[in-house]
């Protein structure tokens, strides 16, 4: 039995010729893998020095060669989602950049001039007074009053400067002249800008294909909001930029018109904020971010005089944020000031109070500050010193009284549109000792004052310790 098993085992061993055959196949596979790795290495080395084309923001379709891009451009088309609502003067703009086709929204401002965002035209055409013939095409859809048509661009009349050239950024626009006038209604315009909370109609091109330039004009809306931390310069309707919310400002939506309630174009969609700006503010958000972006004020375009610029640097955003969340900014809050005034009605016989900040806590995107009444100055002393002398028959060297010191919890954060929000509520009342020298007030019009709470854990918590003087006449009036 054992011999049979040994015989069976030995019969399964490969012969010498089989071993050679297997070794040959292993060498072939090894050589093939080496060739693949080497080819990939060469490809990566050759690609390292190439600069990617500037296709940021606009909708684009990459191709293997320029001929393919030209074929896609020739087949471009645009339609209306609703023919009855579609404005005649809004169309799709498309051009070739490298081997890619880029497309956005554009609109007529006269029978032979269209306006769009600067990144909606090829990089090589972002120069004033340059020919764009056979490089850029504007397509208008069939509407209730006008048939579809395609018109070539003749020249770039004017284009805004590169916004990445410096911290001072110019709103993005490109004004193009067509090869021929068109029989379509241009959009009326105005340079009045956008007020806070203004709802702006926004007809835009939605790209509905990833492999060809096929767009559909749809009707949307954006809301303009002032006092955003992302755009602190937008405080009135004359700002070069608008802070837009509740709408998509990326891709083919760039260059679309912003229309006020009177039916006039007051700006155009410029695009999203740089991602780094929003990332820097993430820790202050009390909720998930909403849709936000930039709009260009039409008064900055060459048709309205141009020449607008504003600082959009990281430092500007950071400085604005630091001011809004600093204790002094909280002390200026109207709600807190009202709380203090109501408390002072019963606590301002001798002392004029102001808001003091105790401490801050950051938690889940909300910064919580604690505010309390802090001695500011002594009310004009003759009256209360006379009352004091008549009541005690003397003016003491030191006096002490008890007061209920309110602590207000002040919460500040950013809403989903990066607008600062705040609320102030009474947190608790603290029994505190107030001590000072009436004698020093009588003699020197000033005194050392101390404001401390009841002992906690065998220690007193000082809320205020320092020198305080008699209020000036102006401070008394306030």
Domain-embedded: residue 19: no
- DSSP state, residue 461: -
Mean pLDDT of the chain: 81
- pLDDT per residue as tens digits for the range 55-77: 344 676 887 788 999 999 999 99
The DSSP secondary structure of 253-282, one letter per residue, reads: GTT-EEE-TTS-EEEEEEEPPPHHHHHHTG
Q: 3-class SS at 334?
A: helix
- Residue 193 C-alpha from the chain's centroid: 19
The DSSP secondary structure of 125-172, one letter per residue, reads: G-STTEE-TTTEEEEE---SSS--EEEEEEEEEEEPPPTTSSSEEPPP
Confidence of residue 54 (pLDDT cuts 50, 70, 90): very low
Better-predicted residue by pLDDT, 60 or 33: 60
Q: 3-class SS at 97?
A: strand
What's the CATH number where 287 sits?
2.40.10.120
Residue 18 has pLDDT above 80, yes or no: no
Domain-embedded: residue 137: yes
- Same domain for 347 and 271, yes or no, is no
Residue 124 has pLDDT above 60, yes or no: yes
- Same domain for 329 and 304, yes or no, is no
- pLDDT per residue as tens digits for the range 245-262: 999 999 999 999 999 999
Range of the domain at 348: 325-477
- pLDDT per residue as tens digits for the range 367-399: 788 889 999 998 877 677 777 777 777 778 888
Q: CB of 163 within 8 A of CB of 170?
A: yes
Better-predicted residue by pLDDT, 269 or 329: 269
Confidence of residue 475 (pLDDT cuts 50, 70, 90): low
Domain-embedded: residue 373: yes
Domain-embedded: residue 268: yes
Domain-embedded: residue 20: no
Q: What is d(CA 114, CA 88) in angstroms, rounded to the nearest whole number?
A: 12
Instruction: Give the end of a domain, one of 247, 282, 310.
Output: 310
Confidence of residue 44 (pLDDT cuts 50, 70, 90): very low
Of 252-261, 348-357, 453-462, least confident by mean pLDDT is: 453-462
Q: What is d(CA 56, CA 272) in angstroms, rounded to the nearest whole number?
A: 10
- Same domain for 287 and 429, yes or no, is no
Residue 346 has pLDDT above 90, yes or no: no
- Residue 211 C-alpha from the chain's centroid: 31
Domain-embedded: residue 42: no
- Same domain for 150 and 268, yes or no, is yes
Q: What is d(CA 170, CA 156) in angstroms, rounded to the nearest whole number?
A: 17
| Res 301: pLDDT | 78
The CA–CA distances, whole Å, from 358 to 284, 340, 375, 384 equal: 20, 15, 14, 30
- Same domain for 293 and 230, yes or no, is yes
pTM: 0.72
- Same domain for 124 and 201, yes or no, is yes
Of 72-76, 120-124, 454-458, least confident by mean pLDDT is: 454-458
Confidence of residue 47 (pLDDT cuts 50, 70, 90): very low
Structurally, how many domains does the chain consist of?
2
What's the order of all strands across the beta sheet hosting 462-469? 351-363, 366-378, 399-414, 420-436, 446-453, 462-469
- Same domain for 95 and 124, yes or no, is yes
Instruction: Give the end of a domain, one of 285, 310, 335.
Output: 310
| Res 121: pLDDT | 95
- Same domain for 263 and 342, yes or no, is no
- Same domain for 378 and 263, yes or no, is no
Confidence of residue 143 (pLDDT cuts 50, 70, 90): very high
- Same domain for 298 and 214, yes or no, is yes
- Same domain for 107 and 209, yes or no, is yes
Domain-embedded: residue 213: yes
Q: CB of 407 within 8 A of CB of 430?
A: yes
Q: Stretch 338-359: mean pLDDT, rounded?
A: 84
Give buried/exposed letters for 449-477 (b at 16+ CB in 10 A, else e).
Answer: bbbbbeeeeeeeeebbeeebebbeeeeee
| Res 130: pLDDT | 95
- Same domain for 305 and 177, yes or no, is yes
Q: CB of 75 within 8 A of CB of 213?
A: yes
Q: Is the dihedral of CA 96, 97, 100, 103 positive or negative?
A: negative
Domain-embedded: residue 128: yes
């Amino acid at each position: 039995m054992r011999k049979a098993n040994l015989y069976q085992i030995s019969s399964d061993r490969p012969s010498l010729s089989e071993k050679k055959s297997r070794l040959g196949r292993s060498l072939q596979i090894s050589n093939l893998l080496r060739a693949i790795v080497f080819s990939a290495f060469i490809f990566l080395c050759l690609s390292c020095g190439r600069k990617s084309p500037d296709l940021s923001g606009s909708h684009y379709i990459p191709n293997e060669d320029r001929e393919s891009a030209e074929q896609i451009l020739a087949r471009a088309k645009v339609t209306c989602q609703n023919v009855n609502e579609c404005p005649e003067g809004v169309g799709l703009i498309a051009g070739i950049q490298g081997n890619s086709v880029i497309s956005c929204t554009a609109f007529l401002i006269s029978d032979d001039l269209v306006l769009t965002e600067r990144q909606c035209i090829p990089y090589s055409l972002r120069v004033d007074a340059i020919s764009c013939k056979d490089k850029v095409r504007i397509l208008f859809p069939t509407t209730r009053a006008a048939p579809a048509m395609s018109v070539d661009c003749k020249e770039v009349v004017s284009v805004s400067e590169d916004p990445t050239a410096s911290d001072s950024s110019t709103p993005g626009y490109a004004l193009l002249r067509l090869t021929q006038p068109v029989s379509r209604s241009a959009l009326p315009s105005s340079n009045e800008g956008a007020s806070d909370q203004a709802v702006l109609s926004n007809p835009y091109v939605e790209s509905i294909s990833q492999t060809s330039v096929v767009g559909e004009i749809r009707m949307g809306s954006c809301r303009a909001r002032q006092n955003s931390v992302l755009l602190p310069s937008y405080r009135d309707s004359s700002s070069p930029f608008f802070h837009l919310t509740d709408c998509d400002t990326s891709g083919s939506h760039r260059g679309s018109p912003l229309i006020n309630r009177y039916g006039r174009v007051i700006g155009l969609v410029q695009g999203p904020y740089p991602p780094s700006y929003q990332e820097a503010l993430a820790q202050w958000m009390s909720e998930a971010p909403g849709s936000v972006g930039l709009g260009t004020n039409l008064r900055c375009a060459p048709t309205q005089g141009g020449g607008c610029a504003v600082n959009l640097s990281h430092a500007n955003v950071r400085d604005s944020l630091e001011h809004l969340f600093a204790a002094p900014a909280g002390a200026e809050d109207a709600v807190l000031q009202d709380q203090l005034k109501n408390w002072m009605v019963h606590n301002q016989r001798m002392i004029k109070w102001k808001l003091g900040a105790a401490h801050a806590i950051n938690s889940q995107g909300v910064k919580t500050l604690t505010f309390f009444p802090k001695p500011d100055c002594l009310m004009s002393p003759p009256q209360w010193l006379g009352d004091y002398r008549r009541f005690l028959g003397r003016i003491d060297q030191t006096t002490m009284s008890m007061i209920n010191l309110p602590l207000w919890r002040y919460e500040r954060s950013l809403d989903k549109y990066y607008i600062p929000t705040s609320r102030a509520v009474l947190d608790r009342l603290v029994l505190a000792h107030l001590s000072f020298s009436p004698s020093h007030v009588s003699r020197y019009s000033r005194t050392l004052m101390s404001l401390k709470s009841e002992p906690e854990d065998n220690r007193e918590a000082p809320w205020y310790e320092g020198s305080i003087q008699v209020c000036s006449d102006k401070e008394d009036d306030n």
